[in-house]
């Protein structure tokens, strides 16, 4: 029985001490709290830099997009979240449509970040750009064969194409942008063509798409460039190359990671300061260094590795459209059996 | 029935209801209006999902039953080289989270994995896509989950009366027919219990199926939620999983019939000795399973850990360790405590049908994807808040959301099945005679429980505690959503890195988890031996 008592008292102590410690933490007034779907190792360095500049402390909680949005919704007026950081324009658009954000009007942000990467009404702003484009085997593909995303549906790619799963937001937003440019009918044909051309079950990760091309399972794929950047940083001579898709037409599809200040933020002033900091050159540099993404700021040049991939024209479609079209895109892909 | 008994029935009912609370909230989604999403799903997704889910369940079910039972029989009944250490080594795969094993297997056996590259270079055969079709994912699940059946079946074989087997032998039955005609029928409840847990966990899995991109029912749940932003349809779909789990439990009970399986003899004598070639063949088989399910994946994880150690290791790991430790210990104690109360033998016979069903219902959380159940819990708290506000009180959301208490609640609900299955299995083996004689001697109910039931249920309680603690440590989705600030666990670290495709770095927290799991397993093994 004494053993049991010991265990029980440890348990009670654990529960009380932790509820207590969260209460104390919440009491510090200047600090701000961020809910983020961007993973810890990609946001902590940014917050550390902000804290050392301003003295304002940043607490954060990482989680999955859908689940965190539900949590903020249910926490309502008493939410601890001052800011919500997430990847993919669709998620930002959805959070805004659920009334989780408040409008921020900041000259600093407007100067730093171009229009098409921001919400037209100022509810959220993009902070880094991820280009999603074609990648190919330098051993088996002549770049003159390549042109557009749509072209990958052509019969000549039969058994040569690898794609990432349709469940991933990056695929969803890409197809959403195709629907915006070409309409439902043409996009249906494109997706059907992709599925027919697949050499393997769609992969869970962009990394796996690249490994599959390297191993010879397929010759081309579509990936976010930073995955290739990471691979190239490890293996500079890897037999893969990026091809900028749709340069003759709509431009290469880009997505963003971004953030908004929550509607019920208890510290709006400092939250805007953080948002402004994240759009600054100093923070944008960290974004690029940490994850080989493109800066959202127009004022910063890409870093060496990224710069060697060359300049490209971005698709200038406002990214809130990708959010609006996402459900249609998923329904379309599910109809065509794109897993 | 005395008033005391009645009161305790009410208390147990309340306890079971609390455990079932998040499940009830999820099922109550049917009260919300349906949407057109159902049309799209039933036309384009569900036919394929349902058939592939059934194939998966069938394959995994047969696989774990056969493998788990055969392995358990071999280590208990047959003496062969290496048996002693393999007997406990076969538990170890249980310490590896399923999704970790899946990404290791894919890294090795997929088209670009070195096993296939090597095979192609050696033989010149063309490569294949192991993620298409069913067999590779079924095999993965079997290798991760066979320890459930193995563990239960092993315990049951150990309890079988040695005389029966001896009698079978004397009558000239071969080891194989003793296996089929005596051992397996006697162990059926145990095998069924292990199978049940496996099937529920397979149903709820999201990690492995998304790595393989294999369409199961959880795909539709996450699609409804993530793609179409309909938490209602997601909950409606999830409640169907609860229904399936309920049916599985029903069939398990039905299959068992009214038979009672009391047994008590424990023996360390091995009835069979496999010498020479047969002994070594058995060793190769059992050792092979151990290599495939544990040693080789671990080797890969260790290699990755060494490669990335300097890049990944940091002082935050002390926090991950302490959060993991505190949550695991607290959740295990709570879950097992509640499960023991619900499984006490005197309750079983006297309590009403309604209570029995409610208790069974409270164990269904294991078949729900963790994140769906976690959101169910948040909505449940929200509803209580709304009621409280209606009566002039205040919302409790801000107190409970992000508290350790709520997270522990989620663990208890989610892992009740595991704890309850173990405790009820040991409780069912207590002969009614004990209660009768205790009553005759005038012992109080408290003394009966403390001095008779608890000691006899100890093996089951310990087994439950072991399984729950390893499961809590591995748990991801509910922890990810409900944890308080700064309470990142090792499982979360594994997920955050692997979600970014950084598998090599994810190997480090995974390795620590497996190490902790193995320590728990060894501890259990020691307790198991001391009990004899």
Q: Specify the pTM.
A: 0.89
Cβ separation of B401 and A216 shorter than 8 Å?
A: no
Indicate whether A10 pLDDT > 60: no
B320/B305 Cα distance (integer angstroms)? 17
3-state secondary structure of A59: strand
Distant-in-sequence, close-in-space partners of B381: CB < 8 Å, separation ≥ 6: A74, B396, B397, B400, B401, B406
Dump pLDDT digits (tens) for A251-302. 999 999 999 999 999 999 999 999 999 999 999 999 998 888 999 998 887 6
- Using a CB–CB cutoff of 8 Å, tell me whether B235 touches chain A: no
Provide the number of CB pairs (under 8 Å) joining chain A to chain B.
159
Distant-in-sequence, close-in-space partners of A104: CB < 8 Å, separation ≥ 6: A122, A123, A125, A260, A261, A272, A275
Contact residues, chain B, for A339 at CB < 8 Å: 213, 215
Dump pLDDT digits (tens) for A151-199. 999 999 999 999 999 999 999 999 999 999 999 999 999 999 999 999 9
Two structure tokens written together for A223? 């990936």
Cβ separation of B403 and A22 shorter than 8 Å?
A: yes
Q: Residue B44's closest chain A neighbor by CA?
A: A335
Hey, which CATH number is domain B1-23+313-488, 3.30.200.20, 1.10.3720.10, 1.10.340.70, 1.20.120.520? 1.10.3720.10
Band of the pLDDT at A70, cuts 50, 70, 90? confident
Q: Residue A209's closest chain B neighbor by CA?
A: B112
Cβ separation of A202 and B213 shorter than 8 Å?
A: yes
Q: Residue A336's closest chain B neighbor by CA?
A: B44
Domain A2-129+256-300 has CATH 1.20.140.10: no
Calculate how close chain A gets to B207, using CA atoms only, in Å: 11
Q: Residue B494's closest chain A neighbor by CA?
A: A39
| CATH superfamily ID and name for A130-253+312-335 | Periplasmic binding protein-like II (3.40.190.10)
Q: Which of B112, B225, B480 sits opposite A217 (nearest CB)?
A: B112
Dihedral angle of Cα B100, B249, B225, B374, to the nearest 10 degrees = -70
Calculate how close chain B gets to A240, using CA atoms only, in Å: 15
B155/B459 Cα distance (integer angstroms)? 9
State residue A170's pLDDT score: 93
Contact residues, chain A, for B375 at CB < 8 Å: 67, 70
Q: Residue A212's closest chain B neighbor by CA?
A: B112
Q: Which of A42, A78, A327 sits opposite B228 (nearest CB)?
A: A327
Q: Residue A39's closest chain B neighbor by CA?
A: B496
The domain segmentation of chain B, as residue ranges, is 1-23+313-488
Find residue B272's DSSP bridge partners. Answer: B78
Cβ separation of A334 and B231 shorter than 8 Å?
A: no
Q: Which of A11, A215, A326 sits opposite B111 (nearest CB)?
A: A215
Distant-in-sequence, close-in-space partners of B352: CB < 8 Å, separation ≥ 6: B9
Calculate how close chain B gets to A44, using CA atoms only, in Å: 12
Calculate how close chain A gets to B90, using CA atoms only, in Å: 29
Residues of chain B with pLDDT under 50: 1
State residue A1's pLDDT score: 46
State residue B258's pLDDT score: 55
Of the candidate ranges A107-111, A121-125, B262-266, the one whose mean pLDDT is the lowest: B262-266
Residue with tokens 């076969």: B90
Cβ separation of B398 and A205 shorter than 8 Å?
A: no
Calculate how close chain B gets to A259, using CA atoms only, in Å: 19
The domain segmentation of chain A, as residue ranges, is 2-129+256-300, 130-253+312-335
Q: β-strands A125-137, A220-224: how paired?
A: antiparallel
Q: Residue A72's closest chain B neighbor by CA?
A: B401
User: Burial, B267: exposed, middle or buried (Cβ in 10 Å; 0-12, 13-18, 19+)?
Assistant: middle
Indicate whether A137 pLDDT > 90: yes
Find residue A161's DSSP bridge partners. Answer: A198, A220
State residue B2's pLDDT score: 55
Contact residues, chain A, for B227 at CB < 8 Å: 167, 172, 326-327, 330
- Using a CB–CB cutoff of 8 Å, tell me whether B496 touches chain A: yes
Task: Provide the phi-psi class of A59: left if phi over 0, else alpha when psi is between -120 and 50, else beta.
Answer: beta
Average pLDDT, chain A: 90
Find residue A60's DSSP bridge partners. Answer: A34
Two structure tokens written together for B227? 């793609």
State residue B532's pLDDT score: 52
ipTM: 0.87
**B-interface mutation test, from A14, A15, A18, A95, most B Cβ less than 10 A away:** A18
State residue A19's pLDDT score: 47
Calculate how close chain B gets to A205, using CA atoms only, in Å: 7
Cβ separation of B481 and A200 shorter than 8 Å?
A: no
Contact residues, chain B, for A76 at CB < 8 Å: 395, 397
Cβ separation of B501 and A207 shorter than 8 Å?
A: yes
State residue B266's pLDDT score: 52
Calculate how close chain B gets to A61, using CA atoms only, in Å: 6
User: Are B214 and A205 within 8 A, CB to CB?
Assistant: no
Contact residues, chain A, for B127 at CB < 8 Å: 215-217
Cβ separation of B481 and A67 shorter than 8 Å?
A: yes
Q: What is the DSSP string of A72-138?
A: HHHHGGG-S-SEEEEESHHHHHHHHHTT-B-----HHHHHHS-GGGB-TTSS-EEEEEEEEEEEEET
Calculate how close chain A gets to B517, using CA atoms only, in Å: 20
Contact residues, chain B, for A204 at CB < 8 Å: 210-213
Distant-in-sequence, close-in-space partners of B389: CB < 8 Å, separation ≥ 6: B395
Rounded (10°) angle between helices B490-499 and B98-109? 30
Cβ separation of A212 and B219 shorter than 8 Å?
A: no
- Using a CB–CB cutoff of 8 Å, tell me whether B210 touches chain A: yes
Calculate how close chain A gets to B236, using CA atoms only, in Å: 17
Identical fold, A2-129+256-300 and A130-253+312-335: yes
Q: Which of A62, A76, A230 sits opposite B496 (nearest CB)?
A: A62
Contact residues, chain A, for B403 at CB < 8 Å: 18-19, 22
């Amino acid at each position: 029985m004494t053993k049991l008592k010991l265990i029980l008292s440890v348990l009670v102590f654990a529960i009380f001490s932790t509820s207590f410690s969260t209460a104390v933490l919440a009491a510090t007034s200047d600090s701000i709290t961020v809910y983020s779907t961007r993973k810890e190792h990609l946001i902590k360095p940014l917050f550390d830099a902000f804290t050392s500049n301003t003295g304002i402390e940043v607490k954060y909680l990482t989680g999955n997009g859908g689940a965190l949005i539900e949590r903020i919704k249910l926490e309502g007026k008493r939410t601890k979240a001052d800011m919500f950081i997430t990847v993919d324009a669709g998620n930002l658009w959805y959070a805004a449509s659920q009334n989780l954000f408040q409008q921020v009007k900041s000259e600093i942000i407007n100067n730093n970040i171009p229009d098409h990467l921001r919400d037209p009404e100022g509810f959220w702003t993009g902070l880094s750009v991820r280009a999603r484009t074609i990648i190919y085997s330098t051993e088996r593909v002549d770049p003159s064969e390549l042109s557009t995303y749509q072209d990958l549906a052509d019969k000549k790619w039969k058994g040569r194409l690898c794609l990432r799963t349709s469940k991933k937001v990056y695929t969803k937003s890409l197809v959403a942008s195709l629907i915006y440019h070409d309409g439902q009918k043409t996009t249906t044909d494109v997706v059907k063509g992709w599925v027919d051309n697949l050499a393997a079950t769609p992969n869970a990760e962009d990394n796996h798409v690249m490994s599959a091309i390297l191993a010879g399972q397929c010759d081309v794929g579509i990936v976010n460039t930073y995955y290739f950047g990471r691979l190239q940083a490890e293996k500079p001579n890897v037999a893969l190359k990026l091809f900028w898709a749709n340069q003759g037409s709509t431009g290469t599809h880009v997505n963003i990671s971004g953030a908004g200040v929550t509607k019920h933020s208890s510290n709006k002033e400092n939250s805007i300061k953080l948002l402004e900091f994240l759009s600054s050159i100093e923070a944008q540099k960290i974004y690029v260094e940490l994850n080989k993404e493109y800066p959202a700021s127009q004022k910063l040049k890409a870093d060496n590795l990224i710069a060697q991939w060359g300049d490209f024209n971005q698709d200038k479609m406002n990214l809130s459209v990708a959010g609006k079209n996402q459900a249609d895109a998923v329904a379309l892909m599910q109809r065509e059996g794109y897993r | 029935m005395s008033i005391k008994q009645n009161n305790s029935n009410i208390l147990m009912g309340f306890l079971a209801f609390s455990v079932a609370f998040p499940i009830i909230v999820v099922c109550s989604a049917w009260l919300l209006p349906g949407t057109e999403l159902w049309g799209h799903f039933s036309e384009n997704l569900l036919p394929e999902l349902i058939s592939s889910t059934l194939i998966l369940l069938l394959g995994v079910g047969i696989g774990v039953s056969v493998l788990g039972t055969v392995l358990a029989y071999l280590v208990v009944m047959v003496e062969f080289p290496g048996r002693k250490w393999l007997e406990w080594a076969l538990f170890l795969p249980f310490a590896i989270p399923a999704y970790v094993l899946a990404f290791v297997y894919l890294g090795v056996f997929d088209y670009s994995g070195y096993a296939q590259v090597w095979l192609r270079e050696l033989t010149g055969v063309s490569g294949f896509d192991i993620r298409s079709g069913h067999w590779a994912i079924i095999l993965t699940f079997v290798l991760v989950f066979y320890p459930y059946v193995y563990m239960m079946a092993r315990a049951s074989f150990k309890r079988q009366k040695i005389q029966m087997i001896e009698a079978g032998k004397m009558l000239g039955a071969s080891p194989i027919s003793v296996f089929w005609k005596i051992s397996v029928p006697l162990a059926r409840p145990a095998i069924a219990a292990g199978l049940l847990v496996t099937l529920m966990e397979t149903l709820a899995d999201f990690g492995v199926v998304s790595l393989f991109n294999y369409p199961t029912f959880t795909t539709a749940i996450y699609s409804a939620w993530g793609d179409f932003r309909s938490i209602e349809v997601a909950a409606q779909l999830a409640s169907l999983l609860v229904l399936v789990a309920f049916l599985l439990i029903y069939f398990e009970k039905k299959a068992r019939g009214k038979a009672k399986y009391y047994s008590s003899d424990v023996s360390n004598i091995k009835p069979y000795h496999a010498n020479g070639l047969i002994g070594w063949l058995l060793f190769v088989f059992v050792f092979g399973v151990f290599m495939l399910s544990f040693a080789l994946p671990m080797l890969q994880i260790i290699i990755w850990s060494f490669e990335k150690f300097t890049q990944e290791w940091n002082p935050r790991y002390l926090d991950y360790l302490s959060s993991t430790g505190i949550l695991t210990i607290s959740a295990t104690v709570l879950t097992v405590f509640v499960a023991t109360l619900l499984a006490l033998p005197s309750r079983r016979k006297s309590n009403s049908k309604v209570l029995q069903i409610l208790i069974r219902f409270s164990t269904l959380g294991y078949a729900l994807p963790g994140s769906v159940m976690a959101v169910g819990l948040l909505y449940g708290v929200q509803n209580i808040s709304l009621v409280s506000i209606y009566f002039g009180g205040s919302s409790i959301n801000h107190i409970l959301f992000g508290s350790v208490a709520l997270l522990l609640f989620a663990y208890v609900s989610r892992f009740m099945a595991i704890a309850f299955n173990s405790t009820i299995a040991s409780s069912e083996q207590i002969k009614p005679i004990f209660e009768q004689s205790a009553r005759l001697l005038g012992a109080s109910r408290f003394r009966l429980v403390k001095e008779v039931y608890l000691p006899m249920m100890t093996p089951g309680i310990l087994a439950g505690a072991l399984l729950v603690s390893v499961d809590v440590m591995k748990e991801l989705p509910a922890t990810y959503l409900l944890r308080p600030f700064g309470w990142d666990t090792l499982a979360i670290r594994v997920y955050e890195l692997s979600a970014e495709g950084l598998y090599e770095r994810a190997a480090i927290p995974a390795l620590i988890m497996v190490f902790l799991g193995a320590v728990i397993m060894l501890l259990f093994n020691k307790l198991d031996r001391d009990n004899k």
